[in-house]
């Protein structure tokens, strides 16, 4: 069973990485075809659309999945059908009236948009709101039936359709506004595709929709906490989309310059910096069930071991990637986006990866042990810090205010998570300082010579080759050096090629209490 779970996680993770890679390439295409200003308009509309989509779906797919799993355990076929019916009904109630009202009266809600040109883009996206919500419910149906491969394939197919449609629609774009609108049409086309293919597969698998009566209220009750957390994140993103351009204008930038800066930060820089989230997310996918099982079974020894390994792995991922971004970040922006500003921001923001990775893994750890309320509170504290940075720092550092805000937010969140985790699960007991010196400090210090080597090597390679070739050579050199350096400091055993995982096997010895 454990091998099957790991195999499914590996397949899903592989497809997820492929999907993100495709999305990253599409961002490059968008930045070249519609420019930074057009990308800014697109991002403003997309962030607001994401908020309403999150409110309309939120935790409904995972709740539907749980209801189906419970019904299967109880051999309640009608319960499975009612769960799907309740999910679709709930999503339509939460999205269809909103889409209609915003399409008619949204133009009067000027406070929602930092630039009213993005309203036209937003209206186009609204066409796909309810379709995407229904597709989300059907994903929950597939998950509940333990079909993880089909929805993963649908996700990457949806992304592919968006990329193809976008490239076809964005040929010979005459203005940034028209380009942003055509990019929105590409998103809608992809939503129509995923809706159609998911409905078709649902009926092929002999799925049926039952009467939601009696199930709708329990579904809303179970969904509310999850939706609240996810909607809060989307709300913060939407708030940044309004506040950052406004604060940049207040600091002296023109509306076009502010929107261009916002497009560079959110459409070019942040997607690059969030690359580690794919790796950390895949580890969390495998780690969370293990931690949850050990926590509730009071398998304290194994729980402490896996907590320590998970945290060390997240720190290692950040320490390995930071020198890459520091050495070739500027080249990534120039080569990928043809934008020197984006490259400089990627390079200067490399250290963001460390608190971000720690926050992600520790949040997953705490959630796996039932501390969702605490992580929700810590998220809000971090979000408040970020919004304060967006409000007050643009006059000092321009678009970097958002990156600084993210870094401060993740740092506060990581500290809160670690302090709470150490109190509830003291996996290092009283040896915290000793463990930091012997395990984490070498990883952090190793970044310095590797980063310096990367910068010097990249400059040297540029004397003999172009930017792209020097970037590839630098990445290859850093990869080889990183393996040997981090093996030397004890991050993993090079001879056995055994990294921090797999997890510690269950011990038959009696476990000690915390």
* Mean pLDDT value of segment 181-189: 94
- pLDDT band for position 7 (cuts 50, 70, 90): low
Q: How does pLDDT run across 133-162, given as a tens digit for each residue?
A: 999 999 888 877 777 778 888 988 999 999
Q: Which residues contact 267 (CB under 8 A, 6 or more apart)?
A: 27, 30, 31, 36, 39, 40, 42, 43
Whole-number pLDDT of residue 146: 73
| Residue 420, beta-bridge partner list | none
pLDDT at 410 over 60: yes
Q: Please tell me which residue, 501 or 472, carries the higher pLDDT value.
A: 472
pLDDT at 102 over 60: yes
| Residue 498, beta-bridge partner list | 493
pLDDT at 365 over 90: no
Determine what percent of the chain is predicted with pLDDT higher than 90: 29
Number of other CB atoms surrounding residue 428 within 10 Å: 17
Helix (H), strand (E) at residue 411: helix 400-424
Q: Please tell me which residue, 13 or 127, carries the higher pLDDT value.
A: 127
pLDDT at 190 over 70: yes
Determine what percent of the chain is predicted with pLDDT higher than 70: 87
Look over the chain and give the mean of its residue pLDDT values, rounded to a whole number.
82
- pLDDT band for position 508 (cuts 50, 70, 90): very low
3-class DSSP string for 317-381: HHHHHHHHHHHHHHHHHHHHHCCHHHHHHHHHCHHHHHHHHHHHHHHHHHHHCCCHHHHHHHHHH
- pLDDT band for position 437 (cuts 50, 70, 90): low
Whole-number pLDDT of residue 507: 45
Whole-number pLDDT of residue 284: 67
Whole-number pLDDT of residue 333: 86
Whole-number pLDDT of residue 125: 94
Whole-number pLDDT of residue 436: 62
Q: Please tell me which residue, 378 or 278, carries the higher pLDDT value.
A: 378
- Give the start-to-end residue ranges of the domains of the chain: 1-266, 274-514
pLDDT at 291 over 80: no
Lowest-confidence region among 108-122, 175-189, 207-221, 223-237: 223-237
* Mean pLDDT value of segment 445-467: 90
Dihedral sign for Cα 345, 350, 351, 357, please: positive
Whole-number pLDDT of residue 501: 43
Q: How does pLDDT run across 338-364, given as a tens digit for each residue?
A: 888 888 999 999 999 999 999 988 888
* Mean pLDDT value of segment 21-28: 82
**CB contact at 8 A, 506 and 299:** yes
* Gap between the Cα atoms of 19 and 139, Å rounded: 16
């Amino acid at each position: 069973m454990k091998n099957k779970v790991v195999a499914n996680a590996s397949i899903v993770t592989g497809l997820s990485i492929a999907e993100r890679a495709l999305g990253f390439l599409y961002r490059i295409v968008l930045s070249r075809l519609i420019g930074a200003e057009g990308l800014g308009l697109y991002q403003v509309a997309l962030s607001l659309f994401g908020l309403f989509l999150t409110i309309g779906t939120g935790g409904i797919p995972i709740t539907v999945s749980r209801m189906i799993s419970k019904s299967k355990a109880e051999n309640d076929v009608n319960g499975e059908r009612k769960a799907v019916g309740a999910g679709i009904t709930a999503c339509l109630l939460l999205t269809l009236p909103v889409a209609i009202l915003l399409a008619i009266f949204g133009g009067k809600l000027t406070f929602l948009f930092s630039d009213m040109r993005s309203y036209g883009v937003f209206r186009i996206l609204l066409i796909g709101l309810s379709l995407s919500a229904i597709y989300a419910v059907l994903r929950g149906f597939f998950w509940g039936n333990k079909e993880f491969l089909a929805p993963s394939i649908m996700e990457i197919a949806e992304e592919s359709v968006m990329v193809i449609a976008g490239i076809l629609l964005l040929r010979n774009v005459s203005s940034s506004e028209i380009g942003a609108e055509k990019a929105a049409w590409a998103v809608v086309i992809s939503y129509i595709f995923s809706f159609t293919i998911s409905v078709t597969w649902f009926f092929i698998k002999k799925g049926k929709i039952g009467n939601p009566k009696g199930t709708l209220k329990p579904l809303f009750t179970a969904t509310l906490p999850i939706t609240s957390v996810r909607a809060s994140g989307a709300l913060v993103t939407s708030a940044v989309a309004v506040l950052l351009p406004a604060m940049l204008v207040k600091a002296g930038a023109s509306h076009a310059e502010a929107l261009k800066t916002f497009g560079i930060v959110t459409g070019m820089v942040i997607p690059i910096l969030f690359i580690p989230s794919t790796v950390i997310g895949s580890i969390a996918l495998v780690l969370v069930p293990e931690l949850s099982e050990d926590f509730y079974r009071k398998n304290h020894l194994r729980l402490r071991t896996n907590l320590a390994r998970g945290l060390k792995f997240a720190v290692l991922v950040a320490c390995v990637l930071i020198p890459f971004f520091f050495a070739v970040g500027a080249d990534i922006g120039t080569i990928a986006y043809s934008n020197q500003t984006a490259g400089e921001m990627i390079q200067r923001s490399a250290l963001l990866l460390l608190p971000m990775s720690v926050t992600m893994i520790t949040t997953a750890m705490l959630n796996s042990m039932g501390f969702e309320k605490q992580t929700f509170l810590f998220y809000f504290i971090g979000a408040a810090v970020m919004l304060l940075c967006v409000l007050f720092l643009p006059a000092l550092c321009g678009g970097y205010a958002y990156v600084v805000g993210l870094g401060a937010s993740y740092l506060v969140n990581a500290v809160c998570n670690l302090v709470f985790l150490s109190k509830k699960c003291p996996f290092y007991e009283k040896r915290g300082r000793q463990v930091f010196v012997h395990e984490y400090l070498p990883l952090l210090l190793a970044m310095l010579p590797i980063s310096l080597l990367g910068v010097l090597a990249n400059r040297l390679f540029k004397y003999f080759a172009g930017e792209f070739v020097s970037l590839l050579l630098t990445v290859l050199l850093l990869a080889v050096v990183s393996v040997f350096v981090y093996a030397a400091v004890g991050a993993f055993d090079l001879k056995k090629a055994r990294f921090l995982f797999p997890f510690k096997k269950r011990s038959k010895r009696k476990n000690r209490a915390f």
